[in-house]
Structure 1
Amino acid sequence: MPNRWKEKVKKIVGKGNFIDEKLELICYSRDMSVHQGIPDALVFCTTTDQISNLLRVANKSKVPVTVRGSGTSVTGAIIPIRGGLVLDLTRMDKIKKVRKEDGYVVVEPGVICQHLNSSLSPTHFFPPDPGSSNVCTIGGMVATNASGTRAVKYGTTHDWVMGLEVVLASGRVIRTGSYTPKTSSGYDLTRLFANSEGTLGIMTEITLKIVPVPEYIAFAKAAFAKLEDAGKTVADLFASSIGLSACEILDIISIKVVNKAMKLGLPDVEGMLFIEVDGREPAVREEMSAIENICKSNNGIDIAWSANPKQRQALWAARGGLVPSLSRFKKGYRLIPIAEDFGVPVSKVPEAIRGAQEISKKYDMLVATFGHAGDGNVHTTFILDVRNKDEWKKAEKMAEELVDLAMSLGGTLTAEHGLGIAKSAFADRELSSSLDVMREIKKGLDPNSILNPGKLSLDKKKVKILDHFAFSHVAGKKLKGFSEELDDEILVCVQCGFCRTGCPTFESTTLESKNARGRILLAQGLLEETIKPSMELADKMYSCSVCAGCTTTCPCSIEAPEIILACRRRLAQAGCMPQSMTTMLESIEKEGNPFGSPRRERTDLFPKKYQKISAKPAEVLLFLGCLPSYVDMEIVPATFKIMQAADVDFTVLGEDEDCCGYVHYLAGSGDFMKRVKSNMKKFKELRPRMIVTPCAGCYRALKTLYPKEFMVFHISEYVKGLLEEGKLKLANLVTKKVVYHDPCDLGRHMNVYDEPREVLRSIPGLVLTEFEKNRSSAVCCGGGGGLMAYDREMSLDISKRRLAEVLEEDMDVVVSACAACKDTLRKGLRAIPKEKRGTLTVADITELIAEAI
């Protein structure tokens, strides 16, 4: 790509919205499919004018432009296989107009589906509901004509698109459709661009129909010993006058997968149906009764239905948990979408599933078959080991036979995911001569073929199903891995992007390299040795707060923090550790703490009685930690006050206390075990029965990374015990309204959620409230994993975002149970203008306990 061309694009979008750094581009080279293509540059646009000007330049220079939303495609539709530009539209995320009285909204393409429905709740909703609705963009849904479980009643996305603003390849901007409920004016260009997968134009504004939320929703499930009985039930339901809003089917493999992963106790049968009906309550109840009778008449068993929202959600959990469960069904195996969403006439669904099962048996390969029986959409998802070359050869043949099956049943290649790359090889099988017409339309609108080239079989180039293969450096190759367990964990990642909703560094930057998905893709590069350790790679790995927020939103429950730490260890071994980390480690080696403070200052905040005395054996060793001892001014005095008030037999190491080594662990330093051995020697000399610490990081390190020779308690756990035993009395009134922030090291990493809350509730006069995102869903403070030291600006941004949740809530104190959280949140609070932060303060739990003594 000529530099002159790049400079023109930079002027259009601004320097900060143009990226051509290699590792970042790798992070935009994948989606959920088996394909890969690295772009030459990444661009973020926020206006139609920017996109228009950009396309004028790209068209003149014949540079490919591939549009991307959240990257949830399973077909390779957003993969830039011809290089060029990836145009990320996720920053065009405004809901521009809501007209409930007229039944429509106007949105930008980067709006997330779930965010749209949240904004319309509780009165209205946008019905299409793909499985990725919590992360996928409206633009992506329109481009692929996505649907989901409710398609049987509500149709697909293009049924809900009223109009579009589109930028053509030439840069010309056009509008299609109308704000009226119907129009007969001219060609239906709206539907032409919807479902075109970004090959004809770039949508910059979308007008969608919306409808009122149904008054009453009920859900039913039924099991069938024979798959044919499930199919007959579906046929009978459609022959009736019942207005189904969802009708899902699972085959025997899918049921086994769900049972193993989710332990739901589903029966051992050949088929299950999940059925939903919505509308007015009397009508829905009547229809549910009819559904029950139809299921019974077809030998249905384990039939149950509920309209209770919680019970309904629990029943849907089996269906919702299926796809991610596929990547945990067999060790080292993961789901692979290839020929994964063909459609057949509804009456042919059982035959399609039987055919898929026979193909699976023929090749001795695991295939889970399930789908939207109500609209004939069958998902055939392969489960294989991506390292096994022979399994890939089988998968290729199976995909061809599944296409043959779909065509023989009068079906379609794709019912909701689109053609992309994955099905382009078979496009002529279904489209025949109409494919020539599609090519003529493409040539007329995009003569230089710059818009998403290489997709939909539009350029006549012969395509194979595994072209642009993402696992070429893995399949059949001997890898220099991390460990068998970690290698499996890296390769299990299906690149779905759900981690976006749980990653604080992604929320701060909106860059894939600062998200778990991108970091895992880079870890795969280290595994394959296609990426070498470098300071550029270190920037991606050390900018992670290791908060594990991604693990709570990852449908495959991938331990991304462990992958990140393994990458840090490899980077450290290669001499690629950031200066911020090496400085802290050097300080620990010299002074026993990461802050460069003299060792003698460790006891400055101790009561005089404990400042100079030598440590002696006692029942409890109080391990204060570095941050409470050197940086904070309140935690150490408060902790001593608690221990003394409860008359605890405790001792301290004083100036002999050294860093627990958690910083070494987070940095990837090979000296971590050296620190452990040194500290364990001191602990053994004192022979305590237990170690108590107010530091969440020390607690995690001592409890999980050290030899299990002593009981270890966080101060909140220990105080809870003292209160229950009556050894500590909290008598003073603390009339404060507080909100509790869950520390990542204490909460997600150690599952300590209840103890701090129970202690806070024990304080007289204190009113405890919660952040909207709390417990396992709590947002990181921004200081974890060494992030405050590595990238202070990002750390403060994350901290301010967390505090913004409660600035309007008339709160007195944000309280945590972690010195690092307190320090980071205080810095974030100081960075917020005084008129906005008001009198809000930040405190540690020990301070409030001490105040109540």
Structure 2
Amino acid sequence: MFPPNPGSEAIASIGGMVSTNASGHRAVKYGTTRDYIKALKVVLADGTVIETGTTAPKTSLGYDLTHLFTAAEGTLGIITEITVKLEPTPEYGALALAIFGDINAAGDAVTEVTTSGIKLAGCEILDKFSLKVVEEALGRDVSGIEAILIMEADGAKSVVTRDMDRIGEICRKYKVQEFDWTDDPAKREEMMVARGRLVPTLSRIRPGNRLVPIAEDLGVPSTRIPETIRRAQAISEKYNVVIATFGHVGDGNVHTTFVADVRDRENWNRLRPAVEELVETAMEMKGTLSAEHGTGITRAPHIERQLGPAMEVMRKIKQALDPDNILNPGKMGLEKTEKKADIFDHFAFQPVLDHPEGVNSLGREVDDEVLACIHCGFCRLGCPSFSVTQRESRNARGRNALAFYLMNGSITPSAELAESFYSCTTCQACTYFCPAQIKVDEIVEGVREKLYKAGYTPEAVLGVRDNILKTGNVFASAREERIEIYPPALKERVRQGKLPEKARTLLFMGCVPSYLDMKMVPSLIKSLDAAGVDYTVLGAEEGCCGFPLFLMGSDEFESHARQVMEKIRATGATELLTPCAGCYKTFKKIYPQIDDLGLEIYHSVHYLEKLITEGKLKLDKEFAKKVTYHDPCDLGRAFKIFEEPRNILKAIPGVDFVEMARNRLQARCCGGGGGVSANNPDMAVEMGAERVRDALEVGAEIIVSGCAACKDNLRKGAKAIPKKERGKIKVMDITELVARALG
């Protein structure tokens, strides 16, 4: 294993870790990144390439340039190659939880544990502000808890179990409320992942507040931990600011993290002296201003306070290696200026401070979402458009940053901005990879409304709008062609006007199933007829639900939606059934923001599962294939509809169901949503191909979905994969499999 493990390890790069000498909760036993760097290849400012270090077990030759470039934050050279040392994975590990009613008692317990000879692999403390993030992992209400210690040990089983018992004895000495430990790897992983995602989640402590990373990375001797925590609490009370206290206290790393309303000038005025007192606290404790986060801009105002004359040595090294100051200029306080550096020298929030209502507000709730994002980058793990482009402006973090600049007036609507926001599938994957669950889809929708009003909506997207408003469908097809896909008997009844005037169930087919797909509508109707369902259809009078208008930010959406509502209500139906995931989301989530449709909304997966469960559909015909299910974003993440389609597939005889690695909330988007298929069809197909490869990895022969747009784009994605690689994989809608199983 590579022991250094920052909280962001899922997205951290090795270059970033080396450049900041990053570490994590295992540093108490294993040390920091620099302890595992054997050699580097570095390009200097003048183009010279040097190699530092050696793979030999030890060396004492010359200056230790390897460690010089480690933590230099790119100010001395560009690291292009890194040789690291790995450690054997420990044979056994355990994790202890100690719950305290007093954070000071928890700090005292830590000090005794870490000075007692026990070799902890990790030791974390979380105060009452930080605890909410691990509430689910704990499986309990944390509102009455003041502090929790999370302590890990690894190594020989006999030693670890002995140490766990000793830790329990020490904690009881300091009146621990509860103490327990586990060696269950899954439970340990769940807890440490939750802890690792704590920092971004702090922005959710209060609406409109966000984490402010200033003086948040103090390092003090282990024996001074209790005093440091007490001082931080006193500073918080003195200046009436929120300071969430947590960190890797086993190695003296205390994160004193501010959470502030960035639109409140008084909040900032109180924060400034609080920062100065925290800095003074670290110095009094003979500690450091940054234990693992690095210097950058944030620590620049105070770095000389800690380093003294050594700062001049650093400047001379910088001058020698980078005389023209081209490597990461402006960082680490290396440039002397007449004006003393200040914590607000690079203040991003001045526009929102001057205009707390928002210069170009997206609405208070959406503005709060924009401000809550701390740009940590966890969203990169889930974003489909970033996956195929590797461009920051095609990722949730980049889009949120652009939304912030638009909101505060730093940028204005433009064609370039539109390309960033109309390349988003609004799939919400970023939200569920984000520890704070920022509602990026709502941010994107808010910005698109601004772009639409400013006239920057892409032409291809406007073409879809025109098709809907002129012909009632996204394809500009004739209205009467909407029923061509109906089974002959139903089609004839529609043409002769023999449909029942009133029926309990209204089938709303959707544009893609009606005009583009040849199998979904007949398959659904076959199942409903077999179950004896009393239904009617709008036939050629059915029009687009308007979802694409909503997605593009069009102000025509509401009036269009009201027309559709009127047609639906005229049928007198008490329930509406649709096989289209986009239509389902529109009727279930978006229409209620305008008016109440007054009937129950079902997607075909709900309805078919109900009919199967009630015994009205008998699935007798075997389908002997290896099948996987792709969760449509508009069903899965939007409504948590996960088990119904899987239950249906498992009820079909012969189906060998396999699950893709990314499924349910973390399912990869097919790439076909959000208007991307119209605006950038090539990128949509690339995203579709990535999802098909997920299915190929688990040996699936059939990809099943519950969304016509997903089916269409996955088929295109499959065709984009070389035939030798894709084999004979097929894409089907769940209605098709049910119809086949009926015989």
Aligned to 2:517: 632
Aligned to 2:686: 797
Q: Of the candidates 579, 583, 587, which is equivalent to residue 702 of structure 1?
A: 587
Q: Of the candidates 522, 526, 539, which is equivalent to residue 402 of structure 2?
A: 522
- Offset, 1:311: 2.5
Q: Of the candidates 784, 787, 790, which is equivalent to residue 673 of structure 2?
A: 784
**Distance change in 2, residues 1:319/1:809 (3 Å):** closer
Q: Following superposition of structure 1 onto structure 2, how do residues 510-549 of structure 1 map, counting pairs within 5 Å? A: 510-549=390-429
Aligned to 2:298: 422
Aligned to 1:52: none
What is the CA deviation profile of residues 800-830 of structure 1, one whole-angstrom value per residue up to 9, with x for unaligned ones? 1111123354432111110000000111111
Aligned to 1:136: 12
Aligned to 1:568: 448
Q: Distance in 2 between matches of 1:196 and 1:624?
A: 60
Does residue 467 (structure 1) correspond to residue 345 (structure 2)? The answer is: yes
- Offset, 1:244: 0.5
Q: Distance in 2 between matches of 1:287 and 1:148?
A: 21
Does residue 397 (structure 1) correspond to residue 273 (structure 2)? The answer is: yes
Q: Following superposition of structure 1 onto structure 2, how do residues 438-517 of structure 1 map, counting pairs within 5 Å? A: 438-461=314-337, 462-477=340-355, 478-479=357-358, 480-517=360-397
What is the CA deviation profile of residues 731-769 of structure 1, one whole-angstrom value per residue up to 9, with x for unaligned ones? 111111111111111111121111111011111111111
Indicate conservation of the 8 Å contact 2:7/2:195, yes or no.
Answer: no
- Offset, 1:350: 0.9
- Offset, 1:334: 1.1
Does residue 177 (structure 1) correspond to residue 177 (structure 2)? The answer is: no
Aligned to 2:487: 607
Indicate conservation of the 8 Å contact 2:7/2:197, yes or no.
Answer: no
Aligned to 2:309: 433
**Distance change in 2, residues 1:257/1:209 (3 Å):** closer
Structure 2 unmatched runs, 5+: none
Indicate conservation of the 8 Å contact 2:659/2:698, yes or no.
Answer: no
**More moved, 803-812 vs 300-309:** 803-812
**Distance change in 2, residues 1:360/1:690 (3 Å):** same
Indicate conservation of the 8 Å contact 2:198/2:435, yes or no.
Answer: no
Does residue 666 (structure 1) correspond to residue 551 (structure 2)? The answer is: yes
What is the CA deviation profile of residues 185-210 of structure 1, one whole-angstrom value per residue up to 9, with x for unaligned ones? 22111000001111111100001111
Q: Distance in 2 between matches of 1:231 and 1:809?
A: 48
- Offset, 1:255: 3.8
Q: Following superposition of structure 1 onto structure 2, how do residues 360-399 of structure 1 map, counting pairs within 5 Å? A: 360-399=236-275
Aligned to 1:641: 526
- Offset, 1:269: 4.7
Please tell me the residue identity of whatever aligns with 2:367.
Answer: D
Q: Of the candidates 291, 295, 301, which is equivalent to residue 171 of structure 2?
A: 295
Q: Of the candidates 621, 629, 632, which is equivalent to residue 743 of structure 1?
A: 632
**Distance change in 2, residues 1:687/1:589 (3 Å):** same
- Offset, 1:317: 5.8
Secondary structure of 1:743's counterpart equals coil
Please tell me the residue identity of whatever aligns with 2:24.
Answer: G
Q: Distance in 2 between matches of 1:261 and 1:801?
A: 31
Segments of 4+ moved more than 6 angstroms: 260-263
Please tell me the residue identity of whatever aligns with 1:761.
Answer: K
- Offset, 1:704: 1.3
Aligned to 1:558: 438
Indicate conservation of the 8 Å contact 1:343/1:378, yes or no.
Answer: yes
**Distance change in 2, residues 1:433/1:779 (3 Å):** same
Matched residues, number? 729
**More moved, 550-559 vs 527-536:** 527-536
Indicate conservation of the 8 Å contact 2:574/2:598, yes or no.
Answer: no
Indicate conservation of the 8 Å contact 1:223/1:267, yes or no.
Answer: no
Give the alignment's Cα RMSD to 1 decimal: 1.6
Q: Distance in 2 between matches of 1:848 and 1:256?
A: 43
Q: Distance in 2 between matches of 1:839 and 1:675?
A: 42
Aligned to 1:718: 607
What is the CA deviation profile of residues 345-397 of structure 1, one whole-angstrom value per residue up to 9, with x for unaligned ones? 11101111111111111111111111111111111111111111221122222
Aligned to 2:284: 408
Q: Of the candidates 636, 649, 654, which is equivalent to residue 765 of structure 1?
A: 654
What is the CA deviation profile of residues 86-127 of structure 1, one whole-angstrom value per residue up to 9, with x for unaligned ones? xxxxxxxxxxxxxxxxxxxxxxxxxxxxxxxxxxxxxxx111
Please tell me the residue identity of whatever aligns with 2:211.
Answer: L
Q: Distance in 2 between matches of 1:513 and 1:668?
A: 19
**Distance change in 2, residues 1:719/1:255 (3 Å):** closer
Q: Distance in 2 between matches of 1:380 and 1:708?
A: 50
Indicate conservation of the 8 Å contact 2:111/2:226, yes or no.
Answer: no
Indicate conservation of the 8 Å contact 2:133/2:194, yes or no.
Answer: no
Q: Distance in 1 between matches of 2:413 and 2:184?
A: 53
- Offset, 1:271: 3.3
Does residue 167 (structure 1) correspond to residue 26 (structure 2)? The answer is: no
- Offset, 1:604: 0.6
Aligned to 1:621: 506
- Offset, 1:435: 0.9
Secondary structure of 1:836's counterpart equals helix
**Distance change in 2, residues 1:420/1:267 (3 Å):** same
Aligned to 2:228: 352
Indicate conservation of the 8 Å contact 1:258/1:325, yes or no.
Answer: no
- Offset, 1:442: 1.1
- Offset, 1:695: 0.6
Please tell me the residue identity of whatever aligns with 2:293.
Answer: H
Please tell me the residue identity of whatever aligns with 1:596.
Answer: A
Indicate conservation of the 8 Å contact 2:211/2:260, yes or no.
Answer: yes
Please tell me the residue identity of whatever aligns with 2:675.
Answer: G
Structure 1 unmatched runs, 5+: 1-124
Please tell me the residue identity of whatever aligns with 1:773.
Answer: R
**More moved, 816-825 vs 232-241:** 232-241
**More moved, 772-781 vs 704-713:** 704-713
**Distance change in 2, residues 1:321/1:449 (3 Å):** closer
**Distance change in 2, residues 1:534/1:835 (3 Å):** same
Secondary structure of 2:352's counterpart equals coil
Q: Of the candidates 568, 576, 584, which is equivalent to residue 464 of structure 2?
A: 584
Indicate conservation of the 8 Å contact 2:8/2:196, yes or no.
Answer: no
- TM-score, structure 1 normalization: 0.84
What is the CA deviation profile of residues 512-531 of structure 1, one whole-angstrom value per residue up to 9, with x for unaligned ones? 11011111111112211222
Q: Distance in 1 between matches of 2:6 and 2:388?
A: 26
**Distance change in 2, residues 1:138/1:174 (3 Å):** same
What is the CA deviation profile of residues 543-590 of structure 1, one whole-angstrom value per residue up to 9, with x for unaligned ones? 101111100111111100011011111111122211112111111112
- Offset, 1:230: 2.1
Aligned to 1:598: 478
- TM-score, structure 2 normalization: 0.96
Please tell me the residue identity of whatever aligns with 1:825.
Answer: L
Indicate conservation of the 8 Å contact 1:221/1:315, yes or no.
Answer: no
Secondary structure of 1:470's counterpart equals coil
**More moved, 816-825 vs 235-244:** 235-244
Please tell me the residue identity of whatever aligns with 2:705.
Answer: S
Q: Of the candidates 729, 753, 759, which is equivalent to residue 618 of structure 2?
A: 729
**Distance change in 2, residues 1:344/1:793 (3 Å):** same
Q: Distance in 1 between matches of 2:128 and 2:446?
A: 38
Secondary structure of 1:312's counterpart equals helix
Indicate conservation of the 8 Å contact 1:264/1:318, yes or no.
Answer: no
**More moved, 834-843 vs 813-822:** 834-843
Q: Distance in 2 between matches of 1:167 and 1:797?
A: 35
Indicate conservation of the 8 Å contact 1:610/1:654, yes or no.
Answer: no
Aligned to 1:75: none
**Distance change in 2, residues 1:833/1:192 (3 Å):** same
